[in-house]
């Protein structure tokens, strides 16, 4: 009798579970002040609130930093190494996607090697036949896209690029910089050893490199 009752109730239980919908995200809205003007960091979803928006099935989480950036980010209070990240974010390095522009003078030059695209005269030009396919894979158009980096700059530039190439700007959020994150989902990569030397546990990072040697130049 109990087994029959369970079978009768099962469709109702499944229906009830399936009826739970994800909370609607606030529309992207640039914050006020220098963080908004320079980087385009979001007013509602940022370093202070990101913990409330993690683990969503309708969203991908992308950190735009390199493991080791040639730029001197210590000069502006940051870290040239990827010292940690917010749990759930996967790293897709912005400098491998397009040439970096507009860095603060103190930082100097970032990575200057191969890139999927070249940005020049307000235009993005693909350097490889696979460039767009790779971009669409890491930044799917049918998902919300949360972008983060160290201070917010790479994330802002990545959003600008995606929008320029046809992505829906209302699905892309610059959620700011890890350097200012104080939430509960911090995965620490930088560590101080017993001899006071510093090392980095990069094995913790889900890092997506781009193998340019196996791509086809245009």
Could you write out the DSSP letters of every residue in 43-84?
Answer: SSSSTTTGGGG-S-TTEEEEE---SB-SS-GGGGTS-SB--E
Cα 186 to Cα 45, 47, 57, 147, 177: the distances in Å are 16, 11, 20, 16, 12
Half-sphere exposure of 15 (CA within 13 A, CB side): 5
Q: Judge whether 57 and 150 are in contact, CB under 8 Å.
A: no
Residue 22: the pLDDT is 84
List the structure tokens of 36: 């908004």
Q: Is the dihedral of CA 167, 138, 35, 106 positive or negative?
A: negative
Residue 160's pLDDT is what? 97
Mean pLDDT of residues grouped by 10 in the chain (218 residues)?
44 44 92 92 98 98 98 94 98 98 92 97 97 98 98 97 98 97 97 94 98 98
Tell me the residue length of the chain: 218
Nearest to 149 by CA among 40, 217, 70, 64: 64
Domain positions in the chain:
31-210
Q: From CA 116, how far away is CA 171, in angstroms rounded?
A: 22
pLDDT given at position 89:
98
Spatial CA neighbour of 62 closest among 87, 88, 35, 89 = 89
pLDDT digits (tens, 9 = 90+) for 48-86: 999 999 999 999 999 999 999 999 999 999 999 999 999
The fold adopted by the segment(s) 31-210 is Oxidized Rhodanese; domain 1 (3.40.250)
- The conformation of residue 206, written as its DSSP 8-state character, comes to -
Q: What is the pLDDT of residue 21?
A: 75
What pLDDT, on the 0 to 100 scale, is given for residue 20?
Answer: 55
How far apart are alpha carbons 29 and 145 in whole angstroms?
14
Nearest Cα to Cα of residue 154 among 30, 40, 32, 37: 40
């Amino acid at each position: 009798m109990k087994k029959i009752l369970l079978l009768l109730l099962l469709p109702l239980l499944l229906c009830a579970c399936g009826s739970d919908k994800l909370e609607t995200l606030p529309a992207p809205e640039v914050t006020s002040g220098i963080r908004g003007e320079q980087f385009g960091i979001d007013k509602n979803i940022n370093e202070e609130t990101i913990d409330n928006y993690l683990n969503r099935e309708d969203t991908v989480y992308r950190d735009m930093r390199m493991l080791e950036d040639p730029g001197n980010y210590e000069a502006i209070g940051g870290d040239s190494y990827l010292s940690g990240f917010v749990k759930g974010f996967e790293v897709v390095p912005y400098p491998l996607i397009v040439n970096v522009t507009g860095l603060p003078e103190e930082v100097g030059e970032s990575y200057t090697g191969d890139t999927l695209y070249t940005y020049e005269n307000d235009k993005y030009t693909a350097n490889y036949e696979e460039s767009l396919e790779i971009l669409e894979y890491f930044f799917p158009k049918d998902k919300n896209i949360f972008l983060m980096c160290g201070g917010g700059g790479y994330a802002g530039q990545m959003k600008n690029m995606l929008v320029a190439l046809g992505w829906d700007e209302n699905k892309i959020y610059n959620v700011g910089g890890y350097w200012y994150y104080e939430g509960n989902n911090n995965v620490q990569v930088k560590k101080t050893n017993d001899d006071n030397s510093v090392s980095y546990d990069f094995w913790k990072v889900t890092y997506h490199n781009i193998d340019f040697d196996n791509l086809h130049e245009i």
